A and B are shown apart, each in its own frame.
Chain A
Amino acid sequence: MASPLTARIAEQHASVARTLAARLPGAARRRLAMETLARTGLPGSRDENWKYANLRPLERASFTPAALTPPAAGADAAVAAALPPRLADFMRYVFVDGVFAPLLSDAPGTGAARVTSLAARGDAADAGPAVPAPRHEPGADQRFALLNEAFATDGAAIEVTAAPEAARLELLFVASAEAQLGASYPRVELKLGPAGRLVLVERHLSAAGAASFVTSAVSAELARGAALDHYRVQELSSRAIAFDTLAATLAQEASYRLHAVGSGAAACRSTLGVRLAGEHARVALAVAALGDRTQVQDAYALIEHLAPHTRTAQTFRGISAARARVAFNGKIVVARDAHGSDSRQSLRGLLAGPEAEIDVRPQLEIYTDDVRCSHGATAGKLDDNMLFYLLSRGLERDSALRALKWAFLEDVIATIEVPELRRQVEERLAGAMQDGAALREELI
């Protein structure tokens, strides 16, 4: 039985299906995604893994894509102004409301990494699914990825082959349309061949403070021995609504490091799913989230150990100020065959406002005995002793508090190995902490 929301999505999809088909290959996949979605519906707040997310904006959202064609020359002045300074040695590709903007981007690379616009790929891509078939088990919730698949108007297809130097790419997704005019569907399909190496910066930002509705989907396949360093920065405007889904599968000895820093959007929900499918595959997840005012920052990370000797390290640091809610749900599953697996989870939340909320759920589901798994989770305020130490050394209360919060986030920020990116992220966070008056107050 379809809910009113699902019915509305189906209706809006039907109205644009023809336009999408004319522009983008993969009509069969879109239809399948839509059918599955009609059956499962979008998650609701009664779903155990969605209880901390803010799903209310969906009720009034418009799902039709905001943009079908690349922005015309000159129309992108506002977008160009929103772009951060370039990172040295990185190829840059810009997408506006989910559609590739060639005028703002570098030419498609000729080296180890090949970047193609999905729309420009032609019918050849229709031959087989570019992403693994979406999975619908309760654990790995792909429903927003299906929404993306059904409505996406463009996206980046990236293929990386082995090379002496790791390829470096920066993908910028700019949301410029107001939500009532349509949604934006950023999409990345990433394939790393055997021993392929890539440093990927994925950044989501808003042009001119637009209140956009963004649903992004990233899929990554790492072949044997591949290594992906993935930096994810979410800096959307404080009025935007964002849902993202990431699905990664790692083959033998592949290594995936994800560094995610989220400080934007009125309501953001990240759903991350990593499958360690090959022996000795390893993943390191470092997530930082900053919530202020009435923001809701929610993240769910499911890591499945499916092969022996796989490893996980998961770090979460969240600061919730004013009336914000910051939530992190990290689930680790160790399958029966995954003996010799090792997983570490450290989830910490800092409450920095009188009505702030922190929700952390470190979960372990283990089906074999030859494992080492541990997790730690805390929620609370800054340590009084540390604060006293700094005050006794003559620091102003404000700067002492800031220093401590800085140190709190350091576990995640320090993992950013691209110096300019790290500086940009730090500046943004420092700004957020300084003008977010709420972050200063109420810390005893």
Chain B
Amino acid sequence: MSEGAKQLESLIGRGYAQGFVTEIDSDTVAPGLDEDVVRLISRKKREPAFLTEWRLKALRHWLTMKEPHWAHVRFPPIDYQAISYYSAPRSRKDGPKSLAEVDPKLLETYEKLGVPLHERARLAGVAVDAVFDSVSVATTFKERLAAAGVVFLPFSEAVRTHPELIEQYLGSVVPYTDNFFATLNSAVFSDGSFVYVPQGVRCPMELSTYFRINALNTGQFERTLIIADAGSHVSYLEGCSAPQRDENQLHAAVVELIALDDAHIKYSTVQNWYPGDAQGVGGIYNFVTKRGECRGRNAHISWTQVETGSAITWKYPSCVLRGAGSRGEFYSVATVNNHQQADTGTKMIHIGRDTRSTIISKGISAGHGQNTYRGLVKMLPSAHGARNFTQCDSLLMGGQCGAHTFPYVEAKNPTATVEHEASTSKISDDQLFYCLARGICAEDAVNLIVSGFCKSVFKELPMEFAVEAQKLLAVSLEGAVG
């Protein structure tokens, strides 16, 4: 083991920088799940009848389902009846009319996280719909967005202001019967973001939501719905971090994207939930269903994700390419260290003719981490002239980790082309030696090599995200080489 690596060992122990808990009163429903709880959630949020009914249908279906175990991850059984399915910050009850009315403790939390609210929001040019546990507490830049006609609201508010859009689009990409966790989410989803970009509008700013899990034992069930009408363009940023805690927390979100003719949705994620400590205790279970549908001609959906957190990640942002000439993209960097497990990838379902998709996936495994890429590329008989290119590379650091690649290629159209390539290797000793010989310390050398490995994904991220992502990656891999 090199001297530099030994020094790095000490850095592994460094605590989770974002691990702090804000103590505020939460209005939390007692643990357990039945129809009454679902009705209660729906009533608390003053939802229309169709939504209550939809939730109940989901719950009834969920009760017939079994927890899936095909993913390459291991976790102790989850007691779904021990989870509290609703938690709202107390201050929400009185309904803050402006930032000044928002609980100062909350604002403090955002401050620590670096959420650009308030003045900082203006400087950063980002509109923030900050989700604190389950209810959105503050939304900024409404006016500017409203001027452009863009609807960017907490989901629960959109239900009241735009019920017709919700009724039309909710569950149209991820139906309530989709999978175990999505169905659970459909029954109990708490809040999330709703975006509607009208025809021909280019959203004047990047939309951003910070998610944050706070109250103990409160699963978060975000529901995000983004609709880009014909010819519109929107870029959406999602970032996560969570306070340090020893209890595993379940996070089962659903994200639905709908792109109509010539619309473009870019969805970027930096995921940094609490990964558990070095012994694998604690950490977030991140079981997420993300799917976008290119419903119109030449629509374009692009997923970019940097996954550095969570004890377990189970996530496959997918594209259904229905419209002719539509395009799907998936760029991903997934890192596991210590005892983290990730089973992530994408699905590209080609239905329309001349549809194209690109998948670039970079997996990094360190410590005892297990990283899996699982992807499906499916060419249906109607997908004339469709094309896919997939590249998934894995980097291994240390002899105890694992890197797995499980791609599926299913082609049913003779004019469609699918290409997949993958490689797995460790950081080459030559590269490392080269850097060390030039006076770069081991830690920097590894960071340099890793960020080179991930470059093709980082360049897809919006600039401020790219910087954050690179930093996160460096922190999460500290001391991984030795």
Instruction: Give the B-binding residues of A (Cβ under 8 A).
Output: 48, 336, 339, 349, 351-381, 442-444
Say whether, besides A362-B420, A380-B417, A368 and B396 are in contact (CB < 8 Å).
Answer: yes
- Which of chain B's residues have a CB closer than 8 A to the CB of A354? 381, 414
Q: Number of B interface residues at 8 Å Cβ cutoff, please give it.
A: 36
Which of B70, B397, B408, B417: most chain A CB closer than 10 A? B408
- Which of chain A's residues have a CB closer than 8 A to the CB of B398? 369
- Which of chain A's residues have a CB closer than 8 A to the CB of B405? 362-364, 375
Q: Which of B404, B410, B413, B416 contacts A364 (CB 8 A)?
A: B404
Distance between Cα atoms of A376 and B415 in the complex (Å): 20
Q: Which of A365, A372, A374, A379 contacts B418 (CB 8 A)?
A: A379
Which of A48, A353, A358: most chain B CB closer than 10 A? A358
Residue B80, interface by CB 8 Å? no
- Which of chain A's residues have a CB closer than 8 A to the CB of B421? 374-377
Distance between Cα atoms of A371 and B398 in the complex (Å): 11
B8 to chain A, nearest CB (A): 16
Q: Which 7 A-B pairs have the closest CB atoms?
A: A369-B396, A380-B417, A379-B411, A351-B414, A369-B426, A377-B420, A374-B423
Report yes or no: A374 in contact with B410, Cβ–Cβ below 8 A. no
Report yes or no: B399 in contact with A339, Cβ–Cβ below 8 A. yes
| B window 381-426: CB within 8 A of A | 381, 394, 396-426
Report yes or no: A444 in contact with B415, Cβ–Cβ below 8 A. yes
Report yes or no: A372 in contact with B408, Cβ–Cβ below 8 A. no
Report yes or no: A364 in contact with B419, Cβ–Cβ below 8 A. no
- Which of chain B's residues have a CB closer than 8 A to the CB of A368? 396, 399
Which of A351, A354, A371, A376: most chain B CB closer than 10 A? A351
Report yes or no: A381 in contact with B415, Cβ–Cβ below 8 A. yes
Distance between Cα atoms of A377 and B410 in the complex (Å): 11
Report yes or no: B424 in contact with A442, Cβ–Cβ below 8 A. no
B149 to chain A, nearest CB (A): 43
Q: Please list 7 pairs of residues, one from A and one from B, whose beta carbons are closer than 8 Å in the complex, sorted by A's number.
A: A349-B411, A356-B412, A361-B407, A363-B407, A375-B405, A381-B414, A381-B415
Q: How many A-B residue pairs have CB under 8 A?
A: 120
Q: Which of A361, A367, A370 contacts B406 (CB 8 A)?
A: A361
Report yes or no: A442 in contact with B409, Cβ–Cβ below 8 A. no
Report yes or no: A359 in contact with B409, Cβ–Cβ below 8 A. yes
Distance between Cα atoms of A373 and B422 in the complex (Å): 8
- Which of chain B's residues have a CB closer than 8 A to the CB of A365? 72, 402, 404
- Which of chain B's residues have a CB closer than 8 A to the CB of A357? 410-412
Report yes or no: B411 in contact with A48, Cβ–Cβ below 8 A. no
Quick one: closest B residue to A321, CB to CB? B414
Encode B58-81 as 1/0 by CB contact (under 8 A) with A. Answer: 000000000000101000000000
Distance between Cα atoms of A363 and B407 in the complex (Å): 7
Distance between Cα atoms of A373 and B394 in the complex (Å): 10
Quick one: closest B residue to A366, CB to CB? B403
Distance between Cα atoms of A3 and B398 in the complex (Å): 45
| B window 297-312: CB within 8 A of A | none
Say whether, besides A336-B399, A359-B411, A374-B423, A366 and B418 are in contact (CB < 8 Å).
Answer: no
A354 to chain B, nearest CB (A): 6
Report yes or no: B417 in contact with A370, Cβ–Cβ below 8 A. no
B366 to chain A, nearest CB (A): 9
Report yes or no: A366 in contact with B423, Cβ–Cβ below 8 A. no
Distance between Cα atoms of A366 and B394 in the complex (Å): 10
Report yes or no: A366 in contact with B404, Cβ–Cβ below 8 A. yes
- Which of chain B's residues have a CB closer than 8 A to the CB of A351? 411, 413-414, 416
- Which of chain A's residues have a CB closer than 8 A to the CB of B424? 364, 366, 371-374
Say whether, besides A48-B70, A358-B409, A369-B401, A364 and B414 are in contact (CB < 8 Å).
Answer: no
Report yes or no: A369 in contact with B409, Cβ–Cβ below 8 A. no
Distance between Cα atoms of A115 and B139 in the complex (Å): 81
A342 to chain B, nearest CB (A): 10
Which of B394, B396, B400, B409: most chain A CB closer than 10 A? B409
Distance between Cα atoms of A364 and B379 in the complex (Å): 23
A53 to chain B, nearest CB (A): 14
Distance between Cα atoms of A47 and B406 in the complex (Å): 15
Quick one: closest A residue to B416, CB to CB? A380
Distance between Cα atoms of A339 and B399 in the complex (Å): 9
Which of A354, A371, A375: most chain B CB closer than 10 A? A375
- Which of chain A's residues have a CB closer than 8 A to the CB of B403? 364, 366
B347 to chain A, nearest CB (A): 14
- Which of chain B's residues have a CB closer than 8 A to the CB of A380? 411, 416-419
Report yes or no: A366 in contact with B396, Cβ–Cβ below 8 A. yes
- Which of chain A's residues have a CB closer than 8 A to the CB of B394? 364, 366
Q: Which of A339, A370, A373, A379 contacts B409 (CB 8 A)?
A: A379
Report yes or no: B407 in contact with A362, Cβ–Cβ below 8 A. yes
Distance between Cα atoms of A320 and B66 in the complex (Å): 36
Say whether, besides A373-B424, A374-B422, A377-B420, A367 and B408 are in contact (CB < 8 Å).
Answer: no
Report yes or no: B417 in contact with A364, Cβ–Cβ below 8 A. no
Quick one: closest A residue to B404, CB to CB? A365
Report yes or no: A378 in contact with B414, Cβ–Cβ below 8 A. no
- Which of chain B's residues have a CB closer than 8 A to the CB of A375? 405, 420-423
